Amino acid sequence: MERTDISVARFPDHTQAEVAVKALAQAGFDMKQLSIIGRGYHTEDNVVGFYNAGGRIRFWGKYGAFWGSLWGLFGAGIFLSSPLTGPVMALGALAMIVLSAVEGAVAFGASSAIGAAIYSMGIPENSVLEYEHALKADSFLVFVHGTAGDVARAKSILATVKPTHLDVHEGVTEPAPPAPVVRAAE
């Protein structure tokens, strides 16, 4: 795997995270360079669910419109729940890494699949634990990976939307490209 830099921005709510993703997309970032992860729903919601229809996700619950609109931009995602982070949705390159972690391809102590996926990219353990804690506290994380120049440009764009934290991890492993979907014969 190639080495790359990753910027991670934390946002206190889905609205700011969506603004950040759209600002990066508008600035010309390839969606393959971006990932977003956050809580998918809360137990106080009456109905929660999602399904795939015509290549787009349909999601209902508190953040239904948010996840549905971003799914159209990213095209790949995963929803899972773990005791450490609770229910989370990940879109973009990180979704495929999470899937790999869930399938047992990566191990990271007693952490969650989300933590294992982030750690497998080369992000230090202390940062992984901070990101898991942020997810549990209902923050949203936006990841941008690329060259040092890409990440520096992303950092300046992300700074304009005022994240609560903005980290840069240099020389980490580039996220693996999404694997083709293999469907079982019916």
The whole-angstrom separation of Cα 92 and Cα 184 is: 24
Q: Report whether pLDDT(48) > 80.
A: no
Report the mean per-residue pLDDT for the chain: 76
pLDDT band of residue 161 (cuts 50, 70, 90) is very high
pLDDT band of residue 152 (cuts 50, 70, 90) is very high
pLDDT band of residue 105 (cuts 50, 70, 90) is very low
Handedness of CA 79, 184, 76, 174 (dihedral sign): positive
Q: Report whether pLDDT(128) > 80.
A: yes
Average pLDDT over residues 11-15: 91
Pairing of strands 165-173, 3-11: antiparallel
50 closest CA partner among 37, 67, 36, 38: 67
Per-domain residue ranges for the chain? Answer: 3-173
The whole-angstrom separation of Cα 151 and Cα 167 is: 10
Q: Report whether pLDDT(83) > 60.
A: yes
State what percent of residues in the chain have pLDDT above 90. Answer: 31
Average pLDDT over residues 28-51: 69
Average pLDDT over residues 132-136: 90
Which own/partner contact pairs does 175-184 have at CB distance under 8 Å and 24+ positions apart? 175/35, 175/93, 175/94, 175/96, 175/97, 175/121, 175/145, 176/1, 176/93, 176/96, 176/97, 176/100, 177/32, 177/93, 177/96, 178/76, 178/93, 178/95, 178/96, 179/96
The whole-angstrom separation of Cα 92 and Cα 86 is: 19
The whole-angstrom separation of Cα 19 and Cα 101 is: 28
Q: For the chain, first and last CA: distance in Å?
A: 35
Q: Report whether pLDDT(101) > 60.
A: yes
